[in-house]
Amino acid sequence: MTDLLVVGSGPGGVGAALTAVRLGARVTLVERSGLGGTCVHAGCIPSGALHRTVTVLDEVLGASRVGVEVGAARVNWDRMQAWSGSVVQSAARLTRVSLEAARIEVLAATARFTGPRSVQAAGRLFESTPVVLATGAMTMLHQPASNGGRRVLGNEDAMALAGAPDRLLVSGAARFSIEWADFFNHLGTTVTVSAPDERILPEEDADIAGLLQLLLEERGIRFLLGSAGVDETDADAVLAADERAPNLTDLDLDATGVMTAAGGEIGIDARCQTSVPGIYAAGDVTGPPWLSNRARAQGVVAATNALGGSARFRPERIPRSVNTHPELAAVGLTEARAAAGGSQVAVGIGEMVTSLRGITRGEATGALKLVVDPEFGEILGGHMIGAGATEVIAQVAAAMELEADYHELGRVQHLHPSLAELVTDAIASI
């Protein structure tokens, strides 16, 4: 007998399944493709591996400034692809092992609703069983006639290229677009970023995103934003990495009564429950932002509530990142959104140029920005660009999850020299 049915094995599905097992439930997980979902096979894992290659390239090219003499450095495309493939295999294997160790039944099949609380998969019928939908999202590309016959590429296409194009037009300035612009720029591609927004990463803090754009411009990436328009005649390829939509293929939600929004995503409440009792959803199928850790957190909440517990998803506590060089990471509200929401706002800045750890690493470009409520001491958000940003922001995210006063966070003692001291510096400047 199955106590919880999970559809999809990405971070949301796996998070839900493992949580349910820890709560004592018997779990069946349905996956029609590779275990691990898009994250493992065509998302953050292979992308992260590819970006690791250009990170090493950066380090080699800058080695002379710290006293290391090296020869000419270049990227071997085939070896880079082999490296990325090996990382994907490792991640998929770890997913499979974790599910097996938890004794989760996995069905390699397509799940389809045949009624409001009836799901069919692999010739079996699951009736009145709580369900967590975690089917992720998929690339949805538009092929406008104005591209001069050039095919618009998505994330998967970019990873499958036989080599770096000479000239690339990136359509969009959100997270994935900026990551790929940075990646191909490192490989010698002439990159132009075109987007209707007035700046890159419009969902992120304006100061931090603006600094990243300035650094990318200094490296040679061209930005045509807002009403600037774009001339596509010099582009060998067009990349639209952020064109994605929730994956509802084959589910037949019409049989359930589950409501979807205009963007195709499944609507959920803070308990990750859909409009139909007993059916929950987690991850990209609920719409953007497309973050694996968001999916995992929603999966935990969904499974907990599906089995009679009480849990709430807190989106403001989910950290996010942009895998560029230098990297950008953030959690919580930007300064502008905090002010617009009526909160009293104070800002603290920790500068990489004064970080002795940054100086000793030869990576002293960037800053950490903290947004707090000075009256109640609440940490409203943290935003950083610079080496180690994802690790530093984790400390801010932990403090927000524990509902620590920013004064309490300021009393944490850090190793010296360390990038974590930027948190202390930022709080001291408030």
Q: Tokens for 129, please give them.
A: 């069983």
Q: Match 């750890």 to its residue by tokens.
A: 357
Work out whether strand 152-153 and strand 237-239 pair parallel, antiparallel, or are unpaired.
parallel
Task: List b or e across 219-233, with b for residues whose CB sees 16 or more CB atoms inside 10 angstroms.
Answer: eebebebeeeebebe
- Nearest to residue 351, comparing CAs of 336, 372, 370? 370
Q: Tokens for 206, please give them.
A: 């304006």
Label residue 312 exposed, middle or buried (CB < 10 Å: 0-12, 13-18, 19+).
Answer: exposed
Sign of the torsion formed by the C-alpha atoms of 76, 77, 83 and 86? negative
Residue 255 has what pLDDT?
A: 83
Residue 262 has what pLDDT?
A: 80
Q: Euclidean distance between the first and final Cα of the chain, in Å? A: 57
Cα-based distances in Å from 148 to 152, 246, 257, 331: 11, 29, 43, 40
**Coil, strand, or helix at residue 297?**
helix
**Coil, strand, or helix at residue 47?**
helix
Residue 72 has what pLDDT?
A: 87
Residue 175 near residue 242 (C-beta atoms within 8 A): yes
Task: Please name the residues in contact with 410: beta carbons below 8 A apart, sequence gap of 6 or more.
Answer: 423, 424, 427, 428
Sign of the torsion formed by the C-alpha atoms of 189, 237, 211 and 369? negative
Residue 83 has what pLDDT?
A: 96
Cα-based distances in Å from 3 to 127, 178, 310: 11, 42, 17
Residue 313 has what pLDDT?
A: 98
Residue 269 has what pLDDT?
A: 97
Q: Report the interhelical angle of 389-401 vs 421-428 (nearest 10°).
A: 60
Catalogue all structural domains in the chain, each as residue range(s) with its CATH number.
4-139+244-316 (3.50.50.60), 145-239 (3.50.50.60), 326-428 (3.30.390.30)
- Nearest to residue 302, comparing CAs of 7, 2, 1? 7
Q: Match 């349910």 to its residue by tokens.
A: 20
Q: What is the pLDDT along the chain (430 residues), one digit of tens a residue?
A: 899 999 999 999 999 999 999 999 999 999 999 999 999 999 999 999 999 999 999 999 988 988 999 888 999 999 999 999 999 999 999 999 999 999 999 999 999 999 888 999 999 999 999 999 999 999 888 665 455 567 789 999 999 999 999 999 999 999 999 999 999 999 999 999 999 999 999 999 999 999 999 999 999 999 999 966 565 567 889 999 999 999 998 888 888 889 998 888 999 999 999 999 999 999 999 999 999 999 999 999 999 999 999 999 999 999 999 999 999 999 999 999 999 998 889 999 999 999 999 999 999 999 999 999 999 999 999 999 999 999 999 999 999 999 999 999 999 999 999 999 999 999 999 9
Strand partners, 246: 137
Residue 149 has what pLDDT?
A: 60
Residue 29 near residue 104 (C-beta atoms within 8 A): yes
Task: Please name the residues in contact with 322: beta carbons below 8 A apart, sequence gap of 6 or more.
Answer: 175, 178, 179, 201, 204, 212, 328, 329
Q: Tell me, letter by letter, the H, E, C secondary structure of 272-287.
A: CECCCCCEEECHHHHC
